[in-house]
Amino acid sequence: MHPKTMGSLLVTLVIAMPLTMRADRDDRRHDDRDCRESEHHEHNVNTPVQLLGVIAVPGNPIMSTDIGWVDPGTERFYLADRSNFGVDIIEAEDNFYAGRVAGMAGPKPSGGGTSTTNGPGPNGVLVTPNRRLWAGDGNSTVQVADVDPDSPTYLMILKSVNTANATCDTNTPPGNPASTTGHWCGRADELGYDPKDHLILVANNAPLSPAKICPTPTNPAAHCAVAPYATLIDARTYGVLGQITFTGAGGLEQPLWDAALRRFWITVPGPAGGSPMIARIDPTKLPLTVDKSIVLDCQALTGTASASITGIALGPFQHLLVAACGFPIVLSALTGHIFNVITEVGGGDEVWHNPGDNRFYVTAADTTTLVQSLGVIDAETSTWLQNVQDVRGRNAAAFAENNHVFNAVTTPAPPTVEDPRSPCVQFGLVGRGCIGVFGHSGE
């Protein structure tokens, strides 16, 4: 048996067989890939999605996570695991725990101007084609790590890029984001990558004023919020190229690269009583500006006023799915036309398009049962297909080669009793949390 398979922490009989067969098929792995992909596609378009199994993760119990990311180049799933102060790495083809990039902020609180109260991390994660992991972290920092297994610096953080600006850091001169602290700027959150121009766009979603106080009933010393902003970074030199501020916004969420338009999209929550929007940015033109915006009228779309918007994913034909107004909404990136509001499942946080089965995936509550579920949406027809029970699961990402869908499943802090419907508990992982693995039935 392959040594990696021996070390696997997969705890399900459903997908244990492919692991035990790995040594026998390694040599012909690439030769039959095209055939297997075709078979998977034909199978998947006609079968529903179900829970296949779970993967255990060593270290602390998984109680706090953020974004997950599947990278087709390294064939791995990356999870922002705050409970373990780093990014967990899962082999997406063979479904086992492969390692961790450690040394990140962990589950720190936000809203303070110190090194221990400046926001949690890791947050957003992605991997570039040169096998560099980029992760938004606490203290307005983006961490860059080596995730090439053949490299001598494998799993090491190579660079820390500070994204503070003058509105939230007294040590930052106007126009120069090279701060040494950035404590009041909070966390660097979610990211997007432009592979043509080698550019990273990262959001600082909740910066605070270093000096101005806005008392609240629970915190009379609370600092006032300042406008959220995004930072453009050169992925080759790690230099900060520019920033863009979203005055009046209620936060800043997910950047997304649109290769056809050569633009970033970024989801922008509205202010209290306002509307969310999707903003478009040309990263090659400095200073950065919004050259198009799509405003979503939640009252008209869902019957309920909301300023909420979180994840965004790009499907075929320039169709965007956004988690906004409390639901997944499919619209045209070209015209802003709304194709459908999915009402069978909530909007959740991160959303994902899988080209392998041409499905959008979202984790949120089933709107009928109110049970946390993995929502499956047909990206071609913009219609809901099914919800799969996924108690305490969040932020799904899919591997197109085998159409496996991964997400973190957290465990509650004691003394809360764990729900027996949790995927982890179903496979015997009580009080630990895990990675849930979903796929099409019949696998």
Domains defined for the chain, CATH in brackets: 1-63+297-443 (no CATH), 70-295 (2.130.10.10)
Backbone angles phi, psi at 24, to 5 degrees: -70, -25
Report which listed range, 39-53, 114-128, 212-226, 245-259, is most confident. Answer: 245-259
Separation between Cα atoms, residue 338 and residue 226, nearest integer Å? 32
The per-residue b/e assignment along 411-433, b for 16 or more CB within 10 angstroms, e otherwise, is beeeeeebeeebbbbbbebeebb
In eight-state DSSP terms, residue 75 is T
Separation between Cα atoms, residue 187 and residue 163, nearest integer Å? 9
Q: Which two tokens stand for residue 255?
A: 């950047």
Q: Which two tokens stand for residue 424?
A: 């982890």
Separation between Cα atoms, residue 329 and residue 320, nearest integer Å? 8
Please, which pLDDT band fits residue 29 given cuts at 50, 70 and 90?
A: very low
pLDDT of residue 36: 54
Q: Which two tokens stand for residue 84?
A: 């373990």
pLDDT of residue 413: 93
> Cβ(91)–Cβ(83) under 8 Å?
no
> Cβ(192)–Cβ(209) under 8 Å?
no
- Of the candidates 58, 135, 99, 65, which has an alpha carbon nearest to the alpha carbon of residue 393? 65
The β-bridge partners of 278 are: 267, 294
- Of the candidates 36, 31, 121, which has an alpha carbon nearest to the alpha carbon of residue 79? 121
Is residue 238 packed enough to be buried (19+ CB in 10 Å), middle (13-18) or exposed (0-12)? middle
> Cβ(278)–Cβ(267) under 8 Å?
yes
Separation between Cα atoms, residue 236 and residue 42, nearest integer Å? 40
Average pLDDT across the chain, whole number:
90
pLDDT of residue 26: 41
pLDDT tens by residue, 11-21:
443 443 333 23
Looking at the chain, the whole-number percentage of residues with pLDDT higher than 90 is 81
Q: Which two tokens stand for residue 386?
A: 């099914």
Separation between Cα atoms, residue 393 and residue 387, nearest integer Å? 13
pLDDT tens by residue, 149-205:
999 999 999 999 999 998 998 665 544 444 456 689 999 999 999 999 999 999 999
Q: Which of 26-30, 227-231, 294-298, 319-323 has the lowest mean pLDDT?
A: 26-30
pLDDT tens by residue, 57-93:
999 999 999 999 999 999 999 999 999 999 999 999 9
Please, which pLDDT band fits residue 423 given cuts at 50, 70 and 90?
A: very high
Separation between Cα atoms, residue 116 and residue 213, nearest integer Å? 20
Q: Residue 273 pLDDT more than 70?
A: yes
